[in-house]
């Protein structure tokens, strides 16, 4: 895979990296992290300018984020008044908008570089729930800047072992994403149990 990416990026240049990163950030299973490591390795070998590679990669990742966000926003605008699944999803998303406005930025930031497997889903969810575009973009660019910088720097420093490094980082990122989901569902379960206990106590007080 590394050899193919090197050949692909060497043949078609940085615009090819932009396309790969943009499509990958939209949710397609493409080796985006490996692509960033490969860009760093190319820069380390003198086949690409480090700063230029960073700027192009950041543009590609941000473009994919924006496409996912706009797709989510389109669902709300076109389906909120309709019956069925999409309409119900849009209405629930609209009801959750105040909470996302308060907490959503941090979630966007963390899923750019730490919990990366959740990133494409968060892009769409941010658009669906009405997170402001300016806030989404600010947090998204901040997180993507960190992600791109880390992976390109690692590729630049450890270019001869990038495939092994990509596997380790990918497994770690997936494990962190699963832990985040487990923590979220555990928190929701705790809230549901507490709500059931409160209802039970309320009924008991009304009907001793």
Q: Where are the domains of the chain?
A: 2-169
| For range 165-187, the mean pLDDT | 56
Going by pLDDT thresholds of 50, 70 and 90, the confidence category of residue 115 is confident
Going by pLDDT thresholds of 50, 70 and 90, the confidence category of residue 148 is very high
Q: Is the pLDDT of residue 166 over 60?
A: no
User: What does the pLDDT read at residue 187?
Assistant: 58
Going by pLDDT thresholds of 50, 70 and 90, the confidence category of residue 121 is confident
Locate all alpha helices (DSSP H) within the chain, ordered by sequence: 2-12, 14-25, 32-44, 50-79, 84-95, 97-113, 119-129, 133-157, 162-206
Token pair recorded at residue 141: 């660019």
Going by pLDDT thresholds of 50, 70 and 90, the confidence category of residue 30 is confident
| For range 110-139, the mean pLDDT | 87
CB contact at 8 A, 118 and 125:
no
| For range 112-128, the mean pLDDT | 85
- Looking at per-residue pLDDT, the higher value among 148 and 116 belongs to 148
User: What does the pLDDT read at residue 98?
Assistant: 63
Model confidence pTM above 0.85: no
The answer to whether the Cα torsion of 56, 24, 137, 169 is positive or negative is: negative
């Amino acid at each position: 895979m590394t050899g193919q990416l090197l050949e692909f990026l060497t043949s078609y240049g940085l615009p090819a990296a932009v396309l790969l990163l943009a499509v990958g950030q939209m949710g397609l299973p493409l080796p985006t992290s490996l692509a960033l490591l490969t860009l760093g390795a190319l820069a380390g070998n003198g086949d690409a300018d480090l700063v230029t590679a960073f700027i192009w990669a950041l543009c590609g990742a941000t473009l994919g984020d924006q496409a996912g966000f706009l797709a989510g926003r389109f669902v709300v605008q076109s389906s909120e008044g309709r019956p069925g699944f999409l309409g119900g999803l849009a209405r629930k998303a609209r009801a959750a908008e105040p909470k996302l406005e308060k907490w959503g930025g941090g979630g966007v930031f963390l899923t750019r570089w730490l919990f990366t497997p959740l990133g494409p889903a968060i892009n769409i969810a941010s658009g669906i729930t009405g997170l402001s575009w300016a806030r989404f973009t600010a947090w998204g660019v901040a997180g993507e800047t960190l992600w791109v910088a880390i992976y390109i720097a690692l590729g630049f420093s450890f270019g001869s072992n990038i495939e092994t490094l990509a596997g380790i980082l990918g497994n770690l990122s997936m494990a962190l994403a699963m832990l985040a989901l487990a923590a979220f569902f555990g928190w929701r379960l705790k809230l549901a149990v507490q709500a059931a206990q409160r209802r039970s106590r309320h009924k008991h007080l009304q009907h001793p």
